[in-house]
Amino acid sequence: MLRSAYFRAGFERDPHPGQARFYETPDEYLRNLEGLASTYAKVENVTVGAAPHSIRAVPLNNIREIAEFARSHGAMPLHMHISEQVAENAACIAEYGTTPIALVADNGILSPRTTLIHAIHLTNAEFVAVAAAGATICSCPTTERNLGDGVFPADTAARLGIPVAFGTDSQAQIDILEDARQIEYHLRLEQQQRGILDGVSHPDWVSRESIGNTLYRAASRNGYAALGLAGGSLMPGEPADFVTVDLNDLSILGVDAASLAAQTVFAVSKTAVRDVAVQGKLVLEDGRHAEGEEIRARYRAVQRRYQDYSQNHVKTGEPQ
């Protein structure tokens, strides 16, 4: 459970009325974060973390307060968006005289509990600082492509042994395996080469494993670690979180056991996934969700409300 902090509309910008539902005062945020942690303190396999959205949304002095709160309350995970776009770096330099990564590094905010979302536009020295701190980077390739943010230099992160996990960030597309394969494919397009991450020699990324196996680990175990949870390996004592795949699905037909993980990353389509278990409970069984019809009905209702809203604002000439 990551509680987001959002205090302003951007670098040196006051809160915007259109974002009013996001805002809390800094004191309200810390009280609500503490309340969330208290509520879930004894719930198995649930952690609570702090998520100051970004340096543009949370001023530095408040990020420092949140980071200290997280440290002093059971070493909570700390997640934040950073260096997603070139313009973000430029605006941070204008306000603080330095880049976002340098700012958090110089203020003691980077640590093994820190997960940096996106972290695309970093210098080599900044990647070295992230690696030295033991922080994780959460890449969101499908969203970053959708928004035109840029290509995450996963090969640089890999060479330095920086753990990489995957997130969605938006709901334009939600497919963790698509994110895993695109982290390699984006590099191929950019560098006009193949098998780029296969060429990385850092033992935390690729030792005797194929890049497919390594990316599968990034799509599973690394995400648990970023959230302060043990899991992703189906070891005794870990949550029984797993999926089953139809080996007769055309996207993976004929695969052998040795290459199953790699083929899962690079070939499996959503249609091949038959069951999804969370802590031993099937939430998707034989391709069907127990509450699928209700979910679809509610989603259709949301879509209709949005369409009606859009049409009314277009007719009146009001901004959407």
Q: Retrieve residue 80's tokens.
A: 């934040």
- From residue 123, how far is each of 27, 84, 130, 137, 158 by CA, in Å? 34, 13, 11, 14, 15
The per-residue pLDDT for range 231-281, each reduced to its tens digit, is 988 899 899 999 999 999 999 999 998 888 889 999 999 889 999 999 999
- Looking at residue 315, its pLDDT comes to 56
Residues in the chain: 320
The predicted pLDDT at position 207 comes to 54
What mean pLDDT is predicted for residues 32-46? 93
Cβ-contact 69, 32 below 8 angstroms:
no
Tens of pLDDT, residues 51-79:
999 999 999 999 999 999 999 998 999 99
Is the model's pLDDT at 48 over the cut of 70? Answer: yes
Stronger pLDDT, 174 or 319, i.e. the higher one: 174
Closest C-alpha among 81, 85, 88, 78 to residue 108: 78
- Tell me which H or E stretch contains 117: strand 114-118
Looking at the annotation, which residues are catalytic?
A: 118, 169
- Classify 2-239 by CATH class: alpha beta
Radius of gyration of the chain (CA): 21
Mean pLDDT to the nearest integer, 33-59: 95
Name 114's Cβ contacts closer than 8 Å, sequence gap at least 6. Answer: 77, 78, 79, 80, 104, 133, 135, 136
| pLDDT of 317 over the 60 cut | no
What pLDDT, on a 0 to 100 scale, did the predictor assign at position 205? 73
Residue 228: Cβ-neighbour burial (10 angstroms; 0-12, 13-18, 19+): middle
Residue 95, pLDDT > 70, answer yes
Tell me the pLDDT tens digit for each residue of 101-155.
999 999 999 999 999 999 999 999 999 999 999 999 999 999 999 999 999 999 9
Please write the tens of the pLDDT for every residue from 193-241. 998 998 787 777 765 467 888 898 899 999 999 999 989 888 998 999 9
User: What's the N-to-C CA distance of the chain in angstroms?
Assistant: 31
Give residue 59's pLDDT. 97
Confidence of residue 320 (pLDDT cuts 50, 70, 90): very low
